[in-house]
Chains A and B, each alone.
Chain A
Amino acid sequence: MDDTQTIKQHKKVAATTERITGSEAVIRCLIEEGVDVLYGYPGGAIMPVYDEIYKYQGKIHHVLTRHEQGAAHAAQGYARISGKVGVAMATSGPGATNLITGIADAQIDSTPLVCITGQVFSHLLGSDAFQETDIVGISTPVTKWNCQITKASEIPEILAKAFYIAKSGRPGPVLIDITKDAQVSELDFQYKKCTGIRSYNAVPKTKPEAVTAAANLINSAKKPMIVWGQGVILGEAENELKAVMEKAGIPAAWTILGASAISTSHPLNIGMVGMHGNYAPNKLTNECDVLIAIGMRFDDRVTGNLATYAKQAKIVHFDIDPAEIDKNVKTDIAVIGDAKDSLAQLLPLLNENKHEAWLQEFKDLYQVEFEQVIKHDIHPEKEGLTMGEVLKQINIETEGKAAIVSDVGQHQMIACRYADFNVTKSNITSGGLGTMGFALPAAIGAKMAAPEREVVAIIGDGGYQMNIQELGTIFQQQVPVKIVVLNNEFLGMVRQWQQLFFDKRYASTEMVNPDFVTIAKGYHIEAKKVVKREELADAVKEMIASKNSYFLEVCVEKEDNVFPMIPTGASVSDVRLS
């Protein structure tokens, strides 16, 4: 069918078209979309596009990762710190399937990606040709949209759609699979950005009556509590959220992906919710009278047992995605729309308020958590190093302005709990999918997108070895990321569960590790190992002061646990401190 009726594009700019190949068109489209860097790995079915990358190398920078998974995560890191669309490229077959973990991660964490894969010649489709795989079929459940191109003439419009879909509304990954014949044949090239698709309402318009109802409920609340998520960051609604919190005096907590939208030092920032979140916001979720959820999706790691989650509270849910409303938690008032717009409309309708006694309840419970957990994590008296004191040292040296890229596990929870966040888009981590191996490549993308920022990857010894090959990318590209491996010689989080719920049967969680410092040095990356507390401060200082990439291994206590903890299936109010 004629697609021009179903999408809207910018009015024609140039009256003339150029005759170019499909593969050149791919690169020209990327340049038109403002892509400066892409991450990928060449191979047979994508070679014509790589030939154009060679020709256009002054205009677009291709980063050769050491694995396609690394390319996908690097593109994610790029997108998460910049808000721009990350681009990854791979060949057909194994190249394409290796992208899948990163695509699935981007889907569940709403990260805008455009992934371009090569495909066998269209006449070979379905013939089990060399490196043929049905990547459109495989990626369908983990993409916001995907599409196969078999004709060169389709490339500009489909890529324009891809970028529009990836970035607009609730962002997500898009995969475009291009057969080799479409790459090598010619088309009349003209690029027009996509501005709308008739079957896709990217940003539902906020209904003023919903905002009014929300404002009335919030104004009547005695114990209101905000829980915000990544929607605030994706919607660039940080200032609007801050204004709402401050005007109505509402204590506000965050999900892992929402972290850094509001400074951790803000007096109304009451910390993180969820399985390893702070004691006060978890406990008081079941005490508040109005729970205002903003750009978050009530993930099971946030809510614990839904049957006992905030049952006493009225729920107001702000979200851009109508499918999130009532998905997990029944909402009393839903405000569907862009967070920035919705919160801006809410602000003038709110009464000024303070809720001092209610805020004091959070402070009191923070003291309980401080005495029982935090103090021991960041000012330990025992001999072994803790992950928490490493984070404290990083906070000191970076003044809480670094972007923290964490992997998955105990170190991730500690990083989220103890990192100071004074700049938005600073907590880059795999939240929904929990992808070990995310941090090292994501840190590469983050640093390249924001070279002016300090980017510190915090990784466990397990996850580090899942994509350790990306040290090669760091070396080749000279990306000055700081890599901290918190080494407890265990898959720490799994070990913690084995200790707590499987009677310490440590099945396959102990790691016999290589000499990480030697490995880093093999890639000509400056490296140091810390085993004693007295070495830590200087080592972190030296790392942050370095102008180059730097690897720091910190040997931490082997069997430390992360607390507080809401055991699976328990209520948020049953959060444990030990």
Chain B
Amino acid sequence: MSEEKKSYTISIYTENNIGLLNRVSAIFQRRHINIESLTTSQSEIEGVNRFVIVVNISESQAKKIVGQFEKQIEVIKAYYHTEDETIFTESCMFKIKSELLFEEPQIQNIIKESNTRIVTVNKEFFVLEKSGRRHEIEALRRDLNVFGIMQFVRSGRIAVTKDEMKITEMLAAFNN
């Protein structure tokens, strides 16, 4: 199994319990692995949460770590996938002074060309939102940075896999 480090997306289906995030992050911390991004939300199944975690590790590490997650009592199932095996995106927001929208016509072009959405505009500031790949978000940030950004925030990666997950079948089996 390759020891070369790559970006892996780890998906963990869990019960929705207090303290589970601590248990999940402790598994990385103990192995001295840095988390590139982590998001958690409800999954397609009522009452089941899904973590999407991006880490830069080798495949053998990814495999062992998934084993450690699955060992946790409240983890239903865990997977690791390469970028090619997932459809993924990130989301970001910019808060910018409103006056710039009128003083710098270039900003309007940037918004249009990058398919960025204006969330709100008021007298003091306006807010932009964009979803996409990291390089698109970074390009947008560079372009807007020239004019001054009051606040910038980017979410962790969210991803769905090309493969089926079969969690529903797994849970149905428990009830039989």
Contact = CB atoms under 8 A, between A and B. Distances in A.
30 contacts: A1-B15, A1-B47, A6-B15, A6-B47, A8-B174, A140-B22, A140-B23, A141-B30, A144-B73, A147-B19, A148-B18, A148-B19, A165-B73, A196-B174, A197-B73, A198-B171, A198-B174, A198-B175, A199-B14, A199-B15, A199-B75, A199-B76, A321-B71, A322-B70, A323-B67, A323-B68, A323-B70, A325-B67, A326-B63, A326-B64
Interface string A193-217: 0001111100000000000000000
Contacts of A165: 73
Interface of A: 1, 5-6, 8, 136-137, 140-141, 144-148, 165, 196-200, 321-323, 325-327
B16 A1 contact: yes
Nearest to A170: B71
A145 B26 CA distance: 13
The secondary structure that dominates the B interface is helix
B84 to A, nearest CB: 23
Interface residues of B, number: 24
Given A1-B47, A144-B73, A199-B14, A322 B19 contact: no
Contact of B73 (A1, A5, A199, A326): A199
Given A322-B70, A323-B67, 17 more contacts: A1-B16, A137-B19, A137-B22, A140-B22, A140-B23, A140-B26, A141-B26, A144-B73, A148-B18, A196-B174, A198-B174, A199-B76, A200-B74, A322-B71, A326-B63, A326-B64, A327-B64
A323 B73 contact: no
Select the residue from A141, A148, A165, A200 with max chain B CB neighbours within 10 A: A200
B26 to A, nearest CB: 5
Nearest to A197: B73
Nearest to B23: A140
The secondary structure that dominates the A interface is mixed
Interface of B: 14-19, 22-23, 26, 30, 47, 63-64, 67-68, 70-71, 73-76, 171, 174-175
Contacts of B30: 141
A146 B70 CA distance: 16
A199 B26 contact: no
A149 to B, nearest CB: 11
B74 A199 contact: yes
Nearest to B63: A326
Contacts of A147: 17, 19
A146 B22 CA distance: 11
Contacts of B73: 144-145, 165, 197, 199-200
